[in-house]
Every structure is written in C-alpha cells, then in structure tokens.
Amino acid sequence: MISQSFIQELLDRTDIVDVIERDVPLRRAGANYSACCPFHSEKTPSFTVSPIKQFYHCFGCGAHGNAIGFVMEYDGMHFVEAVSELAARIGLQVPAQQAETGSGSQSDSARVKPNGTEYSPGALLEAMKIAARFYREQLKLSKNAIDYLKQRGLTGATAARFGIGYAPAGWQNLHTSFPGQPDNAQKRLLVQAGLMVEGDGGKCYDRFRDRIMFPIVNLKGMIVGFGGRVLEKGEPKYLNSPETPLFQKGRELYNLFGARRAIREAGKVIVVEGYMDVVALSQHGIEYAVATLGTATTPYHIQKLLRQTDNIVFCFDADSAGKKAAWRALEDSLAQLADGKSIGFLFLPEGEDPDSYIRNHGRSAFEKLLEQTLPLSVFLFRELSARTDLKSSEGRAKLVQDAKPLLARVAAPGLALMLVKRLAEISGLSERELEGILKIRRVTAFPVREKPSRPKPVSPYEWLLQILLYHPAYIQKLDRELLAYDQEYEKEVAALAALVEFIDVHPHMGEGTLIPLMTVHFRASPYRAILEQAASKTLGWDGELDLEAEFAGAMARLHEMKRKQRMAVLHNKSLSALTPEEREELQRMAMP
C-alpha cells in the first residue's frame, strides 16, 4: 500500500503539463492547455489540461484524472506502476515496503521489468549520474581535453557550472564506474541508457570516446542524455545520446533548466545551434541562451520556451544552412504563437557563430546585435519575396500562393490579421480580394467573445461539490446539518459527505492539490465518478468567478429545497395528525 503522504509529495513535485506533454502536443488556451484527445479520435481539440488544478478532462469522451491517472490510461499501467514511473522521472524513491505487491518487489533503482531486459527510468537516471561523475573526473586527468577547453576560452568555473566532462579514448572505459554488477546486467543497463553500443556478437563498447561531454538536463534537473564533441578533426563533430526512455532530442533543450531564472529576468530567450555557443555566451554574461540538440527546432521546443517567456530569439549563422534552420523554426512557430508573444530571428555576420562572435567582440557588441533581430513577420515576407519577382503579376500571384499555407497555420487572430494586411500591401491586392483567394474569414475587429453561460448544476449538492473541489476553504462556511439523507439525491449527498470528511482529514490542502489527491484517494470508491465529473466542470472556472456568490447561491438553493421537502412531508399528513408544533412550522414555512 502506498501512503497518502508519498502520493501527495509525488503530485506536489509533478507538473501534469510536463507529464502529458511528453506524449501529447499541448497548446495554451487561456489559463489551461488544450489538445486533440489521445483517448479517442477527434479533429477539434476537446482535451483540457489545468496546470492550476493539476487535472485533465476531455469534453468529448469524458476521460479525466490527474498525472497518475494519465500515465495509467495512456501507458496501460497499474496504479503502483504509474506511481513508480512518475517517481522515477523526478528522482523520488518509492519506499520499498510500500511498493511491494503480492509477488514481492525490488527498489525502483534496481528494478528490471519482467522480461529481464528493460530497466526502469530510475535505474537509467542513476546510470546517467554515475556516467556524468565519471566524465567529470576524467576531464581532470586529461591534459589534451583541458587545453582544448582553455583554447576555446572556457574557464574552470564555467566548465564546472555546466558539468562538462571528458570521455577518454578507448573502447571500454565507462564500465569501471559500475562495479558490483554482473557483466551482462551492466551491459544491458548502459546500452539502454545510450552510454554503450552493442555490436555484432553482443560485444559492447563505449558510445562516447575522446570527446568533450556536455550533460543534457531536463526541466526536473535530472541528466537524461549527453552531447559529445570531438577534440580534433573527426566525424560526427557532435554526437548525441540516442533516443532512450529518458531522452528524446526533439523535446529537450540544452541549458533550459539552468537558464530559467536568467530567461525570466531578461524577458527573452536566445536559441542557438551548439553547446559551445550556449557555454560561451553564458561565460560572457548572456545566461539566457539554450540550444537545440542536433535537430531542427520542433513544436515541442517552442511550446516549452513560450511557457518560460513571451520573447524567443533564434540566433543562426548567416550561411545557407542557417537560413534553412531559421525557416524551419519559423514554420514550426506559426501554430504555437499567441497574440502578445514574439518570435524573432538574428543572423550573425558571415563566418561568425555565437561562440566566436562573443569571444571576438564581447557582450556589449552581442547585445547591440540583438537589436537587429528581425520579427517573424518581417523575416516571413522577406524570404517569400526573395523567392519571386514582385515586379510581375505572376510573381505577386506566386507570393500569395506561397503565403497561403503558412498563414493557414497562424493561430493568433491578431497576428493573422496583421499578416494579411502586410500581404495585401506587398501583393497590391485588397484585403477583401485576398480573403477570397486565401479563404480567410474577414475579421473587421477584435470582438470579445462572450463566455458561454455556465450550466447551473442539477442539484445544490453538485454545486457544493464543485465549489469545495475548486476552493476547499469553503468547508468552514458549510452548514453540515443540511447534508442529511436525501432520497432523491442519495448518491450526491453521500459523495459530498465523503468529500467533506476527506477535507477534514487533510485540512492543509490548497486549491492546486485537492483534486489530484482526491482522484487518488477515491479511485476505488463508488463516489469516484461523481467527484471526478464535478472536478471536470471546474476546469473552465477562472479568477472572474464570484465564488462567494456561487457558495451563497448553492446554500440558498439547498435551504429552499429542504424547505419544500419538509412542506411536502407536512402536507401529506392530515390536519388532525399534525402536532401543534408542526402546524406552527407549516404556517412559518408558507410565509413568503
């Protein structure tokens, strides 16, 4: 049995947005995130994730739950497996005596799945920590590696801050850091962690050899992979960890964990192409830079960055490869941008990269260069215009056709309108003519869409369930005498009483912890469906909701319902059967 205190700690340290975003691309939708539901087929997003409530709900198929529930449903795991999986991701150890099942268990860091070939995320994370320590120690022993870093202008303090190490030459060095394990088990672990490669005949050798090693850290601060750079000439110049259960290069960004505070303080993030670019910029005081991991920018990268800041600057070399990378980043940005967010593109002088530029010219010159960043809209039309002859009608028609699929991706209504206006100016067409060609609905203003009226709960009990789940502090104002048996709403009354008892036992739960803990506590309860349905209806609530009025309305409705029920009971009695007290009560209730 896993204790409630451990579950609470796990959910407190787990962000449901991060959990779901590993498998489902999420888009910001007000205070929540939305996506097409992973549990049924749909074209219009109806799957909502609340970072405040740490809860998800699909308004299409009804799927809902917390982070543990999502892992259970999406990955097909049992409850204990899902808890162990989430705990391993954030470096928590499920207490051994709690993780036991009927057949016994092992600690998560050593657990192997039943087929004997797959190690748990906890074991893989521990292997990455040991490997990182090994590489750091090896750097101290390698004069060539130290000289190389000095030649690149890095100080010892910078290397230590980024955890930079060195993988020595030779085919089998890393295994010496993993004593006390059978050779076969050790090889399986290191191969699954991406640290060794299994060749023909089952022989294993180190993946990284004679390379400067850069640990890749996820947003939980855990090492999930490595990037290795050759010291001398050689191919590939950069070698990254392969895809593993811990690491997907299309989802991770180098230095995002370490740069979060600097990004917030600067109000922007710079995206560069190489590890050394990030390290060099940081050493010169530009600490708000991150790098992609040998792959093109992906929608996941942009989503992660826009959750950290409203301003992204992609910094690329001015060569053709840099231009292509910038264009791919632009294409992936269009659907992610919201009005109020900004994405720009900075191209360095010919022959320069961020590393060389800041070493040659210094921080002030680089920050001055940042002022030349091209807004996405400018870069978009500059590139499209360069691909055709705007002096001819045919060229301008081609511009419109080239822009059409790109404008169709733009999700931000304000930006979409401005891009159409700019395209009209360049093409010489009117906006109305463009709308006919692009099939874009004319937007003449920014009307404030009225929120759909929230359906009134069927019963006051359902109403109170929603309020208490949204803000458990209202339990202090609840008139508990009104929670007596009600035949018409028997299940709702029982669910409300069970929730009240749960809150009483856990009085320190806040707005963000009650719902996820409730879903765990009541997972085997007959009240689970009622409570989770009530919780799902609070996902659309926001700061504009007058909770005081909601609570007063629910209590007034409950009082009125109880009054009518009591009157019905008294009316069913003959007048002669009524006691004097009951007659007086009936007269009192009948008065307006």
User: Tens of pLDDT along 84-135?
Assistant: 888 888 878 887 644 444 333 333 433 334 344 577 777 888 999 999 999 9
In this prediction, residue 5 carries a pLDDT of 77
Summarised one tens digit per residue, pLDDT across range 244-283 is 988 888 889 999 989 988 998 999 999 999 999 999 999 9
Long-range interactions of 378-385: CB distance < 8 A, separation 24+: 379/326, 379/330, 379/344, 379/345, 380/330, 380/406, 380/419, 381/422, 381/423, 381/426, 383/323, 383/327, 385/426
The whole-chain average pLDDT of the chain stands at: 84
Q: What is the Cα–Cα distance from 341 to 343, expressed in whole angstroms?
A: 7
Do 323 and 273 contact (CB within 8 A), yes or no?
no
Q: What is the Cα–Cα distance from 26 to 35, expressed in whole angstroms?
A: 5
Do 295 and 250 contact (CB within 8 A), yes or no?
yes
Summarised one tens digit per residue, pLDDT across range 371-382 is 999 999 999 999
In this prediction, residue 113 carries a pLDDT of 41
In this prediction, residue 459 carries a pLDDT of 82
Confidence category of residue 589, pLDDT binned at 50, 70, 90: low
**The pTM is what?**
0.62
Q: What is the Cα–Cα distance from 292 to 271, expressed in whole angstroms?
A: 7
In this prediction, residue 591 carries a pLDDT of 62
In this prediction, residue 496 carries a pLDDT of 87
**Half-sphere exposure at residue 48, Cβ-oriented, CA atoms within 13 angstroms:** 20
Helix (H/G/I), strand (E/B), else coil: 201: helix
Who contacts 245 (Cβ-Cβ below 8 Å, separation ≥6)?
118, 121, 124, 192
Q: Are strands 238-240 and 269-272 parallel, antiparallel or unpaired?
A: unpaired
Q: What is the Cα–Cα distance from 161 to 488, expressed in whole angstroms?
A: 65
Does the pLDDT of residue 210 top 50, yes or no? Answer: yes
Q: Tell which residue, 65, 7, 36, 35, has the closest CA to residue 535.
A: 65
Over residues 133-158, the mean pLDDT reads: 95
Confidence category of residue 456, pLDDT binned at 50, 70, 90: low
Who contacts 313 (Cβ-Cβ below 8 Å, separation ≥6)?
268, 269, 270, 271, 343, 344, 345, 346, 370, 373
Who contacts 89 (Cβ-Cβ below 8 Å, separation ≥6)?
14, 121, 220, 222
In this prediction, residue 62 carries a pLDDT of 81
Who contacts 225 (Cβ-Cβ below 8 Å, separation ≥6)?
128, 194, 215, 216, 240, 241, 244, 246, 247, 249, 252, 293
- DSSP structure string for 332-374: HHTTT--TT-EEEEEEPPTT--HHHHHHHHHHHHHHHHHTTPE
- Name the more confident of 201 and 491: 491
Summarised one tens digit per residue, pLDDT across range 355-370 is 999 999 999 999 999 9
In this prediction, residue 78 carries a pLDDT of 77
Does the pLDDT of residue 22 top 90, yes or no? Answer: no
Q: In what order do the strands lie in the sheet with 165-167?
A: 165-167, 211-217, 223-230, 238-240
Cite the beta strand spans of 144-217 per DSSP E: 165-167, 196-198, 204-206, 211-217
Domains and CATH numbers, the chain: 4-110 (3.90.580.10), 121-240 (3.90.980.10), 256-380 (3.40.1360.10), 387-438 (1.20.50), 460-590 (1.10.860.10)
Helices (H), 24-116: 67-75, 79-89, 96-99
Confidence category of residue 201, pLDDT binned at 50, 70, 90: confident
Who contacts 258 (Cβ-Cβ below 8 Å, separation ≥6)?
161, 162, 217
In this prediction, residue 488 carries a pLDDT of 78
Specify the amino acid at residue 292: T
Helix-then-strand count for the chain, H and E: 24, 16
Do 191 and 185 contact (CB within 8 A), yes or no?
no
Q: Tell which residue, 14, 25, 1, 4, has the closest CA to residue 86.
A: 14
Do 131 and 177 contact (CB within 8 A), yes or no?
yes
In this prediction, residue 385 carries a pLDDT of 95
Confidence category of residue 51, pLDDT binned at 50, 70, 90: confident
Q: What is the Cα–Cα distance from 438 to 444, expressed in whole angstroms?
A: 16
Angle at CA of residue 514, ends 519 and 94, nearest 5°: 65
